[in-house]
Amino acid sequence: MNIVFFTQEDPFYVKIFFDEFFQQYERLEEIKAFVISRPMGRKSTKKLVKQMYDFYGPFDFLKIGMQYTYKKAMGKRNVSRRGTEKVTTYTVRQLAASYGLNVLERSDLNNPKFHEIIKQYKPDIFISVASPIIFKEQLINIPKLDTINIHNAPLPNYRGMLPNFWQLYHDEKQAGMTIHRINTGIDTGDMLLQHFTPIESIDSLHDLIVKTKKAGVSQMIKVIEDFRAGTTTYTKIEGTGSYFTFPTREDVLEFKKRGKNLL
């Protein structure tokens, strides 16, 4: 089984998923490449900073910004591990590199030149974990078995951006998580698995994201093992469900009025 992961450089939550995955998955040699794209895809640094400022507000933005700056600085160090030795890593790139994985820092995923590079790994499965790039058909069709994505929502509901925020916003009692086939739509491909995590009344958005990232690891491993065993089954997503964009400042203020916390 040859696996290629697609993700983005998020030292906070995406890294939690891969910290857990690398500890639990017993066949890391199957991961042939690890493709990391810029956060939020093609969005400029200026626009990304403004979006985060509007989302967190001045105090939390300063807190998160200081943590991010520290993690990025520490993440530039070269780190390697020997056997089962535990090492401290700060970024997704540093974590993947510490396991000796082939790291490609690319955001031109739909470029034919990139396709020629990734085909050299003879992929059976492409797995997207928070990849910020919309995959086009030519990229989707490269792997032998399938191209799949993990989305932290009970599809078809809560398609789009930051689904954990919107599930808290709407007072859901459980946070859904769906692993599904990627097609040319947005979060509309056939489902392989759906899982639910209870939402506690005290959960902040941070708490819920951490819980669902960790819960998603065992579910993703199950899906991979189904591919290996040839027992993969698909369920068609029925209905249009709901779609949400990234929360605006007004959405966040309403979120807090409803007694919710970001951190």
Note the pLDDT of residue 240.
86
Q: Which of 99, 119, 144 represents a domain boundary (last residue)?
A: 144
Q: What share of the chain is helix, strand, coil (3-state, %, to 5)?
A: 40, 20, 40
CATH code of 198's domain: 3.40.50.12230
Same-domain check for residues 68 and 115: yes
Which residue's structure tokens are 């995590």?
197
Q: Which residues pair with 125 in a beta bridge?
A: 3, 146
Q: What are phi and psi of 259, to 5 degrees?
A: 85, 15
Same-domain check for residues 129 and 156: no
- Hey, what are 61's tokens? 């933005």
Listed in sequence order, the residues at least 6 apart from 55 whose beta carbon sits closer than 8 Å to its beta carbon are 61, 246, 247, 249, 252, 262
Q: Is the pLDDT of residue 10 over 80?
A: yes
Domain of 117?
1-144
Same-domain check for residues 84 and 199: no
Same-domain check for residues 257 and 231: yes
Same-domain check for residues 110 and 165: no
d(CA 178, CA 39): 22
Q: Is the pLDDT of residue 33 over 80?
A: yes
Same-domain check for residues 99 and 214: no
Report DSSP state, residue 33.
E
Note the pLDDT of residue 169.
97
Note the pLDDT of residue 41.
55
Q: Which of 95, 110, 144 represents a domain boundary (last residue)?
A: 144
Residues in the chain: 263
Averaged over 22-28, what is the pLDDT?
Answer: 94
Note the pLDDT tens digit of each residue in 63-93: 999 999 999 999 988 887 766 677 899 999 9
Contact assessment for residue 151 and residue 178, using Cβ atoms and an 8 Å cutoff: yes
Note the pLDDT tens digit of each residue in 246-258: 999 999 999 999 9
Q: Is the pLDDT of residue 207 over 80?
A: yes
Note the pLDDT of residue 87.
87
At residue 45 the predicted structure's pLDDT band, cuts being 50, 70 and 90, is confident
Averaged over 210-223, what is the pLDDT?
Answer: 97
Note the pLDDT tens digit of each residue in 176-192: 999 999 998 888 899 99
Q: Is the pLDDT of residue 260 over 90?
A: yes
Contact assessment for residue 177 and residue 152, using Cβ atoms and an 8 Å cutoff: yes
Q: How much is the pTM?
A: 0.93
Note the pLDDT of residue 48.
83
Same-domain check for residues 3 and 133: yes
Note the pLDDT of residue 78.
85
pLDDT above 70: percentage of residues in the chain: 97
Note the pLDDT of residue 185.
84
Averaged over 197-219, what is the pLDDT?
Answer: 96
Same-domain check for residues 168 and 93: no
Same-domain check for residues 87 and 122: yes
d(CA 198, CA 213): 13
CA trace torsion 61, 62, 63, 64 (10° rounding): 50
Distance set, CA 232 to CA 46, 193, 223, 235 (Å):
43, 10, 7, 10
Note the pLDDT tens digit of each residue in 223-244: 999 999 999 999 999 888 999 9
At residue 120 the predicted structure's pLDDT band, cuts being 50, 70 and 90, is very high
Same-domain check for residues 133 and 221: no
CA trace torsion 66, 41, 93, 99 (10° rounding): 140
Same-domain check for residues 201 and 263: yes
Q: Which of 144, 164, 198 represents a domain boundary (last residue)?
A: 144
Contact assessment for residue 51 and residue 43, using Cβ atoms and an 8 Å cutoff: yes
Note the pLDDT of residue 40.
64
Same-domain check for residues 155 and 237: yes
Q: Which residues pair with 131 in a beta bridge?
A: none
pLDDT above 90: percentage of residues in the chain: 87
Mean confidence (pLDDT) of the chain? 93
Note the pLDDT of residue 73.
93
If one counts the domains in the chain, the total is: 2
